[in-house]
Amino acid sequence: MPPNETNKTLDMSYDVAQKVTHIEDKVNDLSTEMKEMRELINKIYVSVTGDEEFGHKGLVKRVESLETTKRKWENKVNWMYGYAFGAGSLLALGFELVKNYFK
């Protein structure tokens, strides 16, 4: 092979080696970013669903608990309104009876 062609071949193989190295670096960077994203997604998942092994209640269970408490309080308030209405009715009836009795 003439010296010019040998230099061209060496230059081309050097360029190919550089491009492969560059691609390898990019793939390694992508792999690192994917690992970081996987860790972040796992943290988000644990925050939402919880981790019973460590006693962490997730957002889902906490919201369910708050909704249950809210329903209980709504029921209590409705009963209190019922008692207040009933007591008010009985008092009004009592006043009317007393008023008519002393006429």
Q: Domain locations in the chain? A: 1-56, 58-103
- Average pLDDT score, the chain: 89
Which of residues 1 and 68 earns the better pLDDT score? 68
Q: What confidence score (pLDDT) does residue 93 get?
A: 92
Binned at pLDDT 50, 70 and 90, residue 101 comes out as: confident
**Sign of the torsion formed by the C-alpha atoms of 25, 26, 32 and 35:** negative
The residue type found at 63 is V
The string of pLDDT tens digits covering residues 16-40 is 889 999 999 999 999 999 999 999 9
51's CB contacts (< 8 A; 6+ apart) are: 58
Higher pLDDT, 59 or 7: 59
